[in-house]
C-alpha cells in the first residue's frame, strides 16, 4: 500500500508519518529531500533556504525531480510493501508519483484548524521566525503551489482538532490499521 499524507503546514503530517513508521511503513518525507538539497548546495538550514529550495523543487517542470528523489530514497532501502510519503504539494506531483510507482496512492489529508496549527508551529520552533505571520505566509505559499487542490483530492480526511499528540497518535494508528485491513 502506498499512502500519501498531505496537509497544511503544522497540521500533523510528520506525526502521521511517524505513526505509519511505527506500524511498519517505509516512511519518506519530501522535507528530507529538500534538506538534503540544502546540504548538497552547502547552504545553512534557515527558513529562507528551506523556502527557496522547496520553491525550486516546486517550480513548473521540476515536479518530477522531487518525486524521483522521494522514490529513490525508498528504493535504496526497501523494507516493506507499506510505504508512507508526506509532503507532496500539488496534484501534478501526485500524478507523477502514481505514474512512476505504478500504483494508485491512498491520499490522506491531515487537518487541523489554524489556531492549533499555530500552537504546534510555535512549539516546534524549527525557525526563530515562526509566528502567526510566518504561518499565514506559509499557507499562502503552499496554496499558491497547489496544496489546497491536492488536499481537496484526498481519499480520506483525518481531523486532529482538539487532539493532544498522544490521542492523535493513537487515533491515527487505528485509522491506518483499518486502511491496511
The tens place of each residue's pLDDT in the chain, 181 residues long, gives 899 999 999 999 999 999 999 999 989 998 889 999 999 999 999 878 988 998 898 887 788 898 998 888 777 666 667 899 998 989 999 999 999 989 999 999 999 999 999 988 888 766 666 788 888 988 998 898 889 999 999 999 999 999 999 999 999 999 999 998 8
Which residue segments constitute the domains of the chain, with CATH numbers given? 2-180 (3.40.50.300)
Cell 502506498, located at residue: 2
Biggest distance spanned by C-alpha atoms of the chain: 44
Chain centre distance of CA 34: 12
Q: Which residues contact 111 (CB under 8 A, 6 or more apart)?
A: 7, 8, 11, 151, 157, 158, 159, 160, 161
User: What pTM did the predictor assign?
Assistant: 0.89
Amino acid at each position: 500500500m502506498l499512502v500519501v499524507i498531505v496537509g497544511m503546514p503544522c497540521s500533523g503530517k510528520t506525526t502521521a508519518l511517524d505513526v505509519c513508521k511505527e506500524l511498519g511503513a517505509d516512511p519518506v518525507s519530501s522535507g528530507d529531500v529538500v534538506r538534503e538539497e540544502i546540504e548538497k548546495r552547502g547552504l545553512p538550514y534557515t527558513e529562507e533556504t528551506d523556502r527557496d529550495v522547496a520553491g525550486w523543487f516546486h517550480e513548473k517542470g521540476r515536479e518530477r525531480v522531487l518525486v524521483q528523489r522521494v522514490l529513490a530514497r525508498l528504493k535504496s532501502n526497501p523494507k516493506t510493501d507499506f510505504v508512507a510519503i508526506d509532503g507532496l504539494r500539488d496534484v501534478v506531483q501526485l500524478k507523477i508519483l502514481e505514474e512512476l510507482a505504478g500504483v494508485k496512492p491512498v491520499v490522506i489529508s491531515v487537518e487541523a484548524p489554524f489556531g492549533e496549527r499555530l500552537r504546534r508551529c510555535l512549539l516546534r520552533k524549527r525557525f526563530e521566525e515562526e509566528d502567526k505571520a510566518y504561518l499565514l505566509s506559509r499557507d499562502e505559499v503552499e496554496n499558491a503551489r497547489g496544496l489546497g487542490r491536492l488536499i481537496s483530492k484526498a481519499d480520506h480526511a483525518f481531523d486532529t482538532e482538539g487532539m493532544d499528540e498522544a490521542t492523535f497518535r493513537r487515533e491515527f494508528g487505528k485509522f491506518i490499521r483499518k486502511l491496511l485491513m
